[in-house]
Amino acid sequence: MAANYENNPAVANFVEYLRIPSVQPDINYDDCVAFLKKQANGLGLGLKVYELVPRKPIVVITWAGKDQSLPSILLNSHMDVVPVFENSWTYPPFSGHIDKDGKIFARGSQDMKCVGIQYLEAVRKLQKAGVQLKRTLHICFVPDEEIGGHDGMEKFVHTKDFKDLNVGFALDEGMASPNEEFILFNGERSIWQIHVHCTGQPGHGSLLLPNNAGEKLRFIIDKFMDLRAEQKKILDSDPKLTIGDVTTINLTQIYGGVQSNVVPEKLTAVFDMRLAVTVSHEEFERKINQWCKEAGEGVTIEFEQRNPCVPCTKLDETNPYWIAFKAAADELKLKLDCRIFPGGTDSRYVRNVGIPALGFSPMNHTPVLLHDHDEFLDAEIFLKGIDIYVKLITSVTNV
């Protein structure tokens, strides 16, 4: 069974890409670029490499459409993958091992080297069928998505080179679905990472000093964790809601102090928050500032990350690309489950410059294993995904 899959050219391409250990941090992307140049040559397509930050290449493969005056379609994926704990893997994580059931094991098999190869293999099928698309197609491979995309898509969307691509609509990554449905994402929560600094009177650990950093820290933690409990209650109370529909708050770090018997002059709590798309950023910040005021003097906030409020991509008749996407999905009898993405993807940067974008990875009947040990994708699901993209790409490029 496995040998049959290994002889499949699309699977062989996928495995070759998976074997490139483009793992965070400090990635050398040279092998990814060389691999993609080989792919572009095999497809007879032009390729450009943009390097806005040294050693952080953005690779764009272009298939020109019949009417190049029309806005183009962007198919985006990222080349980087997250680190691995190799001892916890059944097979080496960069081997692309295919087991007897046809499961392809590798870091990046779901997140998201599969999608990058599926785009290319869908184009190969369309070319073989003699199809010519109306709109130009740009297949984009970006660096550093797994560490926020700050040297990749975040910068790229503001360049003249990106504007010259004339993008009207974009597809990017989604997520695996363990059941029959395919999950589609049209928006993302805003990531806020915040350090709350609590200062106070230092002194000996045997005293009960007033104006104490520890008391202020406790007040702040209680406020954030109470809000977390409220959001959890909302999520648990309605089976229709998913994690992307609520605001998540997690206490991720506490630091400060000098030694066990000294009351510190400063303690800091760090919170990772993902603001639901329904939350007013101004009101939320006012609430945090009010908590700091109530905690006592000398309590301040510092943002490590603060995503702006980015409107969701419309899933209605005002968005012709969505209409085309939905028509193709209906024709393929795909059951779509439309959601807000729970984490962050490069789609947020594309949406932020006013371009509609959808997150979609054609992986149903697949356990969600992104960033997990033994990440795998079934070869049949991978191959089926290529055919799904053939239909979707044809539909959206001919809008």
Q: Are strands 182-188 and 336-341 parallel, antiparallel or unpaired?
A: parallel
Contact between 110 and 371 under an 8 Å Cβ cutoff? The reply is no
Residue 328 φ/ψ, nearest 5 degrees: -65, -40
Q: What pLDDT, on a 0 to 100 scale, did the predictor assign at position 69? A: 98
Across the range 281-299, mean pLDDT stands at: 98
What pLDDT digit, counting tens, does each position of 86-133 carry?
999 999 999 999 999 999 999 999 999 999 999 999 999 999 999 999
Q: What pLDDT, on a 0 to 100 scale, did the predictor assign at position 367? A: 98
Q: What pLDDT, on a 0 to 100 scale, did the predictor assign at position 343? A: 87
183 CB neighbour count, 10 Å cutoff: 22
Q: What pLDDT, on a 0 to 100 scale, did the predictor assign at position 1? A: 46
Contact between 76 and 171 under an 8 Å Cβ cutoff? The reply is yes
Contact between 84 and 107 under an 8 Å Cβ cutoff? The reply is yes
pLDDT bucket at 3, cuts 50 / 70 / 90: low
Contact between 188 and 350 under an 8 Å Cβ cutoff? The reply is no
Tokens of 378: 């079934």
Using CA atoms, how far apart are residues 34 and 18, in angstroms rounded to an integer?
14
pLDDT, averaged across the chain: 97
Using CA atoms, how far apart are residues 165 and 249, in angstroms rounded to an integer?
38
What pLDDT digit, counting tens, does each position of 353-399 carry?
999 999 999 999 999 999 999 999 999 999 999 999 999 999 999 99
By annotation, the residues acting in catalysis are 80, 145
What pLDDT digit, counting tens, does each position of 300-350 carry?
999 999 999 999 999 999 999 999 999 999 999 999 999 999 989 999 999
Across the range 130-152, mean pLDDT stands at: 98
Using CA atoms, how far apart are residues 251 and 194, in angstroms rounded to an integer?
10
What pLDDT digit, counting tens, does each position of 185-221 carry?
999 999 999 999 999 999 999 999 999 999 999 999 9
Contact between 50 and 60 under an 8 Å Cβ cutoff? The reply is yes
Using CA atoms, how far apart are residues 126 and 94, in angstroms rounded to an integer?
30
Domains of the chain: residue spans and CATH = 2-188+312-397 (3.40.630.10), 190-276+278-306 (3.30.70.360)
Helix (H, G, I), strand (E, B) or coil at 322: helix
Helix (H, G, I), strand (E, B) or coil at 13: helix
